[in-house]
Every structure is written in C-alpha cells, then in structure tokens.
Amino acid sequence: PQAEAEALAAFGDGGLYMEKVIGKARHIEVQVLADGSDAIHCYERECSLQRRRQKVWEEAPSRALSDRLREDLCASAVALAKAVKYSGAGTVEYLYDDEADRFYFIEMNTRIQVEHPVTEAITGIDLVAEMLRIAGGEKLRFRQSDVSVKGHAIEVRLNAEDPAKEFAPFPGQVAELRIPGGPGVRFDSMLYQGYQVPPFYDSLLAKLIVHAETREAAIVRLIRALNELKIGGLKTTKPLFLALAADPAVRAGDVHTRWLEGWLIENAAALAG
C-alpha cells in the first residue's frame, strides 16, 4: 500500500512494476559484431567483480556457464542484434542467476567496451578494426564457425586511486614507470614518465590484460605482471588486484556483483601498499 501510494502521488498512477530479486547475480555480457543484415557473437565476458556498480576486473570466457547455457546466451544476443538490424560492434548485457540457472537481459551497449581486449585475446579478432570496417560500409568478414575460444583472458583496470583510503582520487606526476611484458601480457595506457595525472577526469590510468591457456594460468600471469608493474609517484589500485588474485573465492570464480563490496570491508588492511 505504501509503495502504491507513493507511485500515485508522484506519477498519478499507482501501478507497480515488480522485478525478480537475484541475491547473487553475475554480470555476463556477449560481444556481437553485425553489419545490418547479419550478426555473429564473439562469446561472453564476465564482469561480476564490481565496486559501486563499476567493473574493476573482467574476464573471458565465464567459468560459470555450461556449454548449453553459453550457446543459449550467445544465440539470444545474436537474435537481438539481427532483430534491430544492428550495425557495428556491440555488447548485450545480462544478469545470470546461477541458483536458478537462468539469465535476464539488462541492456545493449552500442559501442566498443573498455573490456573488449579480453575478447580479442581469446578469439584473435581485432574488434576495433572490425568495427571501423563495418562503419565504412563493409560486410562481416567472419562467419560464426570462424570464431572459437582459445584460452582464458583477464583484464584489470588500474586507476589513480588509493585503495587504503576508500579509493580516494590520487592525481599527481608519474615519477617512475615500468611496464610489464612477456608472452600473453598487454598493457593499454597513455602513461609516460613525467606525465601529470589531472584531477578533473576519470581516474583510469591503464588496462592490464593477460592471456593464458587456462584461467589459473592467467591469474598466475596476472600476479607476475602486476609485480613487474611500477607506477611511481602515485597511489593506484594495483594492491587491490594483487589481493584479489590471491583470494580463494576469486581463484574459484565464486563471486557475484555484490561480492566485492563485502570483501573490501573485510580486507581493508590488505589494500595498504
């Protein structure tokens, strides 16, 4: 009655829209490429590790999906893209309830995503190049049978924030920069030694992407790359990812979209550094 009364007072209509409560939802999204008449998928990414509903750690493929569910999820995304005659690179986002083994549509992002490199890593497809080709009027160069998954990839977002102080912004000058390298390591960034990080914009400094044959091997590679990385003069979210990579729940993939918020409260001391 109270909710109905509030709706009536605010909108002149007491009707209510009820949504299913998903206690431990996973955020899973499907990458699509389409040219206005045909569409394919490049499999899924999982982005369940979030802080304040912002993704911090993304990976592909999701270890939560069975082969059957993966096929259904990706087919759903392709059907949506075809139905609206979509053209370009896009991401169809879902919530997945692993207790009920069902997925629910959230939205479609009609652009390239920050986390697109993990899909590029496991499929070998340059999504940005394909997006530009399609924008130039070309048709899809790939059939669905051309796309397969090779290994596992993880991306972490390195921000100029201090995890030990509730992620307070940390603008300043990059006094030292050592970029990790080696097989299966990619570092996307505009940083250079002496760069002044301004206080006015998004705090994202870089994306660290790793790729390996298995998820466990990718996590090991991530830890090595993070230990190699040096961004002197700034506080960054590097300690967060080192701590997460060592956490048993993360190693097991037993997370959901609200998991990180509770973990941060319990592990504040581990983030100092």
For the annotated catalytic residues, the residue numbers are 111
| E-assigned strand segments in the chain | 25-35, 39-51, 54-60, 87-97, 102-109, 152-159, 161-162, 168-169, 172-173, 176-178, 185-189, 196-197, 204-212, 230-232
- Measured distance CA(170)–CA(159) in Å, rounded: 9
Q: What distance in Å separates the CA atoms of residue 151 and residue 209, rounded to the nearest whole number?
A: 13
Q: How far apart are CA 226 and CA 82, in angstroms?
A: 40
161-162 and 87-97 as β-strands: parallel, antiparallel, unpaired? unpaired
C-alpha span between 83 and 38 (Å, rounded)? 10
Report the first-to-last Cα separation within the chain, whole angstroms: 51
Preceding amide of 61 cis, omega within 30: yes
- Report the distance separating Cα 243 and Cα 109, nearest Å: 30
Report d(CA 220, CA 226) in Å as an integer. Answer: 10
